[in-house]
Every structure is written in structure tokens, then in C-alpha cells.
């Protein structure tokens, strides 16, 4: 059984398949008791005191539309360092995926950050274009305090 989309103006018929329509990187994502997506600590940059360091946990929340109940979804995830190398959290608990209604929540644990620059989190579903989230990692120094006499 297929879910078809018919566009009368363009004279096209296409099979609807699950697709990602938006992603967020955050510290914590969950659905509340009313099935609303809740995001805590939306992450657009990662200031760190030193490198290398492992970030304890980040999550990717992706909204998926046009998913059929029996459809098997093939997700791909990658993390690219500023120097172009691919890295992933350590298995077996490094990546955890949960699907709730129209949301996919990916938990990443012990994310290795080895250098300053832009880290690219990429998530894709099947043959669709991937979603990319670019996050700058910046080393921040500890504030120097002046001694008061």
C-alpha cells in the first residue's frame, strides 16, 4: 500500500515517503504528557575550557513527516570535525535513537571534541537531502581575577 500525493496543477503523482523537515541540536529533548516537543539548552555554539574534551550529552530532535505506520526508516548520522575527519561517540551507548509519533530523538553521549572550529552534525533519512547543523567549538579561557588589597 502506498500513500500517493497528486498535484493537479503540475500533473504529477508521487509516492509519499517519510522525510525530515527540521532538526535541532540541544542538551535535552523530550515529549511532554501532551506529546509536545520540549527542547532544553538549544545549542548553537560550544564554548569549552580546554581541548580535547568529551561532551557528556547532546541530543538531535528531528521532525519527520509523511511516515507510514509500517515504514522502515533508515537514518544516517555523522559528525565532522573542523579538519574534515569523521568521528562518532563511542559505542555501544554513544548513540541512542527513539521514535515518537512524528519525532526522532537521537541522544549522543561522550562526543569527542579535539580541536577548535566548526563541527558539522549531519542527519539524513533514506535518499533525501541531509540536514546539517554547524556548531562552532571555541576554547574559552578562565577569567583572570585581580587581587584586591
Q: Residue 106 sits in a domain of what CATH number?
A: 2.60.40.10
Q: Across-strand partners of 28?
A: 40
pTM for the complete prediction? Answer: 0.79
Does residue 64 lie in a domain region? yes
| Domain extent at residue 96 | 18-139
**Collapsed DSSP state (helix, strand, coil) of residue 13:** strand
pLDDT, mean over the chain: 86
CA–CA gap between residue 30 and residue 20 (Å, rounded): 17
Tell me the pLDDT tens digit for each residue of 14-64: 556 788 899 999 999 999 999 999 999 999 999 999 999 999 999 999 999
Does residue 9 lie in a domain region? no
Amino acid at each position: 500500500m502506498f500513500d500517493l500525493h497528486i498535484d493537479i496543477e503540475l500533473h504529477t503523482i508521487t509516492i509519499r515517503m517519510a522525510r525530515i523537515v527540521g532538526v535541532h541540536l540541544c542538551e535535552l529533548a523530550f515529549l511532554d504528557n501532551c506529546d509536545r516537543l520540549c527542547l532544553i539548552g538549544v545549542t548553537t555554539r560550544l564554548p569549552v575550557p580546554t581541548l580535547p574534551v568529551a561532551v557528556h550529552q547532546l541530543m538531535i530532535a528531528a521532525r519527520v513527516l509523511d511516515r507510514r505506520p509500517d515504514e522502515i526508516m533508515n537514518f544516517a548520522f555523522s559528525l565532522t570535525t573542523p579538519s574534515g575527519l569523521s568521528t562518532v561517540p563511542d559505542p555501544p551507548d554513544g548513540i541512542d535513537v527513539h521514535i515518537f509519533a512524528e519525532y526522532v530523538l537521537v541522544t549522543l553521549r561522550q562526543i569527542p571534541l579535539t580541536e577548535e572550529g566548526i563541527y558539522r552534525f549531519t542527519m539524513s533519512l533514506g535518499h533525501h537531502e541531509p540536514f546539517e547543523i554547524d556548531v562552532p567549538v571555541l576554547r574559552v579561557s578562565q577569567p583572570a581575577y585581580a587581587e584586591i588589597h
